[in-house]
Amino acid sequence: MKKHALRALALLALCLLALQLGFALRIATMNFIDPQSTSFQRSEAWRLLNEKRRIEWSQQWVAYAQISPYLKRAVIASEDAGFAEHSGVEWDAIEQAWEKNQRAEASAAKRARPAPAKVVGGSTITQQLAKNLFLSGERTVLRKGQEFVITLMLEVLLSKQRILEIYLNNVEWGEGLFGAQAAARHYFHKDAARLGPEEAARLAVMLPAPKRFEKRPGSAYVTARAATIMARMGAVELP
């Protein structure tokens, strides 16, 4: 029995190693090949096909130089202010998010009719990209651990500029709407290269919940939050 258990553990270790090598190889090729789709996009396409019996999709890859520097600054200011300096994971932000989630859960438990507490994340741009490229949306310890491993691979094997380029070309900006070029065309009827500071800030505001904000892209909240992001953009360091 002991020998069988050791063999099973060895086989499991080899499978895990092969999986990580597979991820590393796919990431390394992204230095030269633009990813055609992400795990999140494929799941969204399947959902749209099941729910609507058709897929309405808009996405067009554009090079890093063809994306407005205002949008790059706005997204970093909104999503990950330390993007240029950190190694992929902001441990302080994760700790703060965990503490906030614990307080929210405790508060929810004290209510007469408890409701699920809103889960707050502490993900960097690199972590978001790791999850969207390869992983599912479930919140488990194993998936989060795999996310950390892929995040470190991205940081080691790709430049910061390439990470941001892939992120901006694949991030969701509405239902079936992916990437900076598609978002710029949809919301402002112009190319991503021509986005101004306010337009870029408005798009950055939408990223945490694009399907919700696309219904009211000109809401008071979006306007106020965009003003805050614009005030921070000047301090952003671009890769």
- The closest alpha carbon to 127, from 70, 172, 167, belongs to 167
What pLDDT does 106 receive?
Answer: 59
Instruction: For residue 54, give the amino acid letter.
Output: R
Q: By the 8 A CB rule, do 130 and 24 touch?
A: no
Residue showing tokens 């130089």: 65
β partners of residue 174: 177
CA distances from 33 to 29, 130, 166 (A): 6, 16, 10
**34 phi-psi bin (left φ>0, alpha ψ -120 to 50, beta other):** beta
The full set of domains in the chain, from first to last, is: 38-85+158-239 (1.10.3810.10)
Helical packing angle, 69-79 and 197-206, nearest 10°: 40
Residue showing tokens 């949008």: 71
What are the tens digits of pLDDT across the range 156-190? 999 999 999 999 999 999 999 999 999 999 999 99
What are the tens digits of pLDDT across the range 72-98? 999 999 999 999 988 888 766 665 655
pTM above 0.85, yes or no: yes
Q: What is the DSSP letter of 82?
A: T
